[in-house]
Each structure stands twice: as structure tokens, then as C-alpha cells.
Chain A
Amino acid sequence: MTTTAPTEQDVLTGLADVLQEVVGTAPEAVVPEATFDFHLDVDSLAMVEVVVACEDRFGVRIPDEDLERLRTVGDAVRYIVDAGAAA
């Protein structure tokens, strides 16, 4: 059986679902250039909850040490794709 790795668009859509569920973010606000803290009002603790939900959804591990690298939605999408997200 082969599975197709999700595209950046797939991960972006999934991340928008996570943000809506965890912090109530409107999906249309979740664009690659949006920063979590300033544009989306996701503070440092909410970011932890978002990351934990992304780990469950995409089957990746995002260590605490890497959190500060995830400043924008685009940063997170690329990180998750590069980490080998599962569909």
C-alpha cells in the first residue's frame, strides 16, 4: 500500500482546522504570512496546545526547542511537511 504525502495545501487546511478547534480562529485568517502571536492572537501557551494537536493530527513530533522557530503559519506548514506529515 502506498500513501501520498500531504501537500503544503493539505497541511495548511489541516492547521486551519486545528486552530479553529483549539483557539477558535476563523479559517480564512489562516494564511501563510499570518504570525501566530500578532495576527492570530495565539499566545505562547495556546501555541503549545496547537502544537500538541498538530502532532496528533499529522503524526509528527515538534520538540519544545523548535517552538520559537514557528513564527508564522507558513513556518509551521513547512516544518510539518518536512517532518514527514502523514495524511
Chain B
Amino acid sequence: MRGATLTGLGAHRTAPVDNTAVAARLGSSDAWIRSRTGIVTRGVAGADESVVDMAVSAGAKALAAAGVDAADVGLVLLATCSLPGALPHGAPEVAHRLGCTAAGGSDVGAGCAGFVYALALAADAVRAGSADHVLVVGSERMLDVVDPHDRGTAMIFGDGAGAVLVSAAAPGAEGGVARPVWSADGGQRDRLVADGSPPRMRMDGQAVYRWATTTLPALARRACDAAGCTVADLDALVPHQANRRITDSVVAALGLPDRVAVAHDVVDAGNTSAASVPLALARLVERGEVRPGDRALLLGFGAGLAAAGLVVRVP
């Protein structure tokens, strides 16, 4: 069977907004928000940055980085949970606006884990020969979904988009995208919900924190097993940017060596749900903390509750 590898990465970042306004609205403080979440600024989308607009922007950058013609893309997968309505889903418009004239288009829903799930499905599609190139995008306007007065979520979330291109590689080629591991606990479906009209998010923060910090270390080790490595062989850890304290807890539980680059994009971007993993990976690349060919563990987790992990080589 042929392999799958990341050939391009693109980010669409929105305007950074500090904690002042949200702290005032919640009767909180900058120091309190930083201590609970690590967040200093979050990206906030403008009126001209819809979920699809941002996905197109990030997707175009990933295609340009890969040097692949949009017409050669076989499938576009969009991970999002913040489109303004149930239909249409976003991927067909993203494909259309990018000029992916031969591509199928579908959205993937797995909350904040959506990007990692979509990437896993994309890599399998490439390995199976269903497409030679799959564009995987995570794009979110989470500030459309949160209640601006909810102390449990209003300071956490942000907006943005990130994308990767997954391309076919020679059979048995080194690196690429490893097999995923995943888990889901639908018994905890009520822990993180967005419903109503317009949808408003409710989260049991302590329960989600417990689930994440007790589930992710084992999931991370399983993902490394699936890639034929151990956590000590990683060059980078790129978890969903939910809360800096979850990342710190997972790093401590795994006993990661200091030389492993750990993504903390939540500090600047906030929690951008399905967009956070590609945005955080792009930040590590921009800062020179990872290099092409480095081995990075991506972890997605969130509503469902659902999680997924896989190891990739940095494009």
C-alpha cells in the first residue's frame, strides 16, 4: 500500500484581542484568565472572515506551500462546528472557491477533535488510492457559539483556520502520517454542548479537564505505538489548544524530555476548536521550533467526548 504524507501547511490568523474586555464583562481579571487558561490574547474574526472565508485562506496557503495545483486535489475535508447553519456544509464551497474542480467535499464533525479525525480519514483515503491529494482544513468562529457572559467558556475561545495537504507517497516511504488511534465516550455527551437558537455552548469544565488529563497520556502512548516510536522519540507535541494547563498536565504525565517542542498557541490564539492543531503546528514552524521531517504527535479532543491522536512528519 502506498503511503500518505503532509506536503503543505497553511494558517489563517485573526486579530489578537487581549483579556481586558472579556475580563471586564465577566467581572474577572487578566491575571485570573491567565492563571486558569494561559490565554493572553485570542484571535477574533472580523465580519469579512466567515468560516468558509478563513478555510479558503488557510487552504490556499497549504496548496501554495505544497506546490500542488488545486485541480489535482481529490477531496476537501472541512472540520468545523461553527457554521451559521446546518446546511449547506462548508467543504464544497471551500473546494469551489479554491478551484478544486475535481474534488469531492465533505465536513467532518468531531468538535475540537475534528481536525485530527479529518486528517486520519484523509490519510486513509490517500493510502487506499481514493485520492492523490486531500486538503484538510479546520476553521472555526467559536465566538459565534459561546455565550459572551458565560464564565466557563467566554474567555477561552477564539477564531481562526489552519490547513494541511495530505499527498500520496511511495509505498513504505519513511515518515508521513501514521495510523491514528481514537477513543470516544458518548456517556459524557452532556459535558460539552452547543444547542439552542442561536447555539450557545455549555461546558462542565472540571469534568472535561478530568477526562482530558486522564485520557490523553494513554492515548498519546498508543499513538506513538501505532507509529512505531515512543514518546521519547518525538520532536514535538501538538495537542488541541484547549487550555494551557491541560497541555502542561499531559506533558508532565508523559515525562516528555525538555528537547521536545510543545505547542502553546492557546496563549496567543485562544481555543480555536478544530482549527487549533494546524494553527499550533504552523506556529511551531514559524518560530523555528520544528523543522521539516520532525516527528510531531497531534492530539485532538473535545465534545462527544471524543479524542484522536496520530504522529506526522512536519511538512
Write the residues of chain A forming the contact surface with B, with a CB cutoff of 8 angstroms: 43-45, 47-49, 51-52, 64, 67
Contact = CB atoms under 8 A, between A and B. Distances in A.
A49 B36 CA distance: 14
A45 B206 contact: yes
Nearest to B35: A43
B207 interface: yes
A43 B210 contact: no
Contact of B213 (A43, A44, A47, A52): A52
A67 B245 CA distance: 19
A48 B35 contact: no
A48 B36 contact: no
Contacts of B210: 48, 51-52, 64
A76 to B, nearest CB: 15
Contacts, number: 27
B206 A49 contact: no
Contacts of B106: none
B28 to A, nearest CB: 13
Interface string B45-85: 00000000000000000000000000000000000000000
A81 to B, nearest CB: 22
Interface of B: 35-36, 204-207, 209-210, 213-214, 243, 245, 249
Given A64-B204, A64-B210, A67-B206, A49 B35 contact: no
B292 to A, nearest CB: 36
A45 B242 CA distance: 13
Contacts of A45: 36, 205-206, 209, 243, 245
Among all A-B residue pairs, the 4 with the closest Cβ atoms: A64-B207, A48-B210, A48-B209, A48-B206
A67 B207 CA distance: 10
A49 B205 contact: no
Contacts of A49: 213, 249
A22 B205 CA distance: 19
Contacts of A64: 204, 206-207, 210
A52 B214 contact: yes
A43 B36 contact: yes
B36 to A, nearest CB: 7
Contacts of A67: 206
Contacts of A43: 35-36
Contacts of B206: 44-45, 47-48, 64, 67
23 contacts: A43-B35, A44-B36, A44-B205, A44-B206, A45-B36, A45-B205, A45-B206, A45-B209, A45-B243, A45-B245, A47-B206, A48-B206, A48-B209, A48-B210, A49-B249, A51-B210, A52-B210, A52-B213, A52-B214, A64-B204, A64-B206, A64-B210, A67-B206
A44 B36 CA distance: 9
